[in-house]
Structure 1
């Protein structure tokens, strides 16, 4: 069976194994889909881990226009970076990247090294950055952040509430392990995963 992109559709066992690998080895996921704010929030809670009282380290990189993924409870293991002041096109995005990396480094020191998927990072969203900065500058920022998350064997997800075929999505796609499109149909929130390593796309799955 093939999907609309010409790739195979993985069966549930293969998909589950792939997700297990992404959790063990670290991963970065691009969340796309326009007009689906509530669905983005649901997907974010799943990827960041909905339970706050555990040992995971969570970093939320957002501004006041974010989808409120849960970064409003600051603790030693939860931190929020508000990039509102960094969106100005006069401010180099590298400063934001350095702040993200330094925060992850502080988490790593506190944890005495991360266990697989112990670090969870949410960037919400990339659209304000794209409005104020050249896409190539945003690309370099993402490369800095995704590389550090891979090194930590963490799990990062990045909200881009734009259509799957948007130019920005096509530009960023090579950096990510998976592209997840979210939507709401008939009151049901759904997700569809495109796994880059195997070039496979799942069916629409309920969130």
Structure 2
């Protein structure tokens, strides 16, 4: 399956049993529904490659929702699997780049730094999160779907964190997560930078999988962590 990491899990000392346990845990998350945080200071090309895997292969039945919250430097189709254009009936595109840019400019003077936000702060959405939450949630099918059929991706949470803060961003993800899980789906959210510990702590309650991205000698790689477990992979070629 295109979204499951291929290759050995962790180092050569890990046993086949550990690899099997990782695969079983991952498949369980996919059946129940889950949310994925994708981080790393890499190019948009690498982030898009990870999205293509998470959106599922073109020959599988999927409902794909791609949400732009920043101006893409490449065509929409780069985030979608090969053979799945943006006009494909399985695809819905929500483009909020202009809204996000306008709002970010209006409220940049009041932005919160990551270090100023307590991860345990009570949640309430503000600013951009309020404007985006309802239309994004409305795009998610209200009926339960076969496990893993719904795939939703948001190109970046970065601007939401910068303008609204961590507490509001967590509330935003939590609201979307509720609808994704009700549909037995998988959602992924990019944070296109190396995350601060505060961000990971704040989003931990609403994220099931953390995928790290990097480029090693110009080769894109990813590393998966199943949160709440001891299961992780080593760095694998993307």
The verdict on a shared fold, with TM-score over 0.5 as the criterion, is yes
1:183 aligns with 2:217: no
Unaligned runs of 5+ in 2: 1-9, 11-16, 108-126
Among residues 162, 165, 173, which one is paired with 2:196 in the alignment? 165
Task: Count residues in correspondence.
Answer: 193
Q: Answer with 1 or 2: which has the greater Rg.
A: 2
TM-score (norm 2): 0.72
**Higher percent of residues as strand:** 1
1:149 aligns with 2:180: yes
User: Are 1:86 and 1:96, in contact at CA under 8 Å, matched by a contact in 2?
Assistant: no
1:77 aligns with 2:90: yes
> Higher mean Cα deviation, 157-166 or 144-153?
157-166
Alignment of structure 1 residues 12-161 onto 2, 5 Å: 12-51=19-58, 54-66=60-72, 68=76, 69-70=79-80, 73-87=86-100, 88=103, 91-105=127-141, 108=143, 113-161=144-192
Once the two structures are TM-superposed, the CA of residue 117 in structure 1 deviates from its matched residue by 0.4
User: Are 2:128 and 2:160, in contact at CA under 8 Å, matched by a contact in 1?
Assistant: no
Unaligned runs of 5+ in 1: 4-9
66 and 31 in structure 1: CA distance in 2 versus 1, 3 angstrom threshold: farther
Work out the CA distance in 2 between the residues paired with 1:119 and 1:58: 6
TM-score (norm 1): 0.82
Work out the CA distance in 1 between the residues paired with 2:28 and 2:195: 24
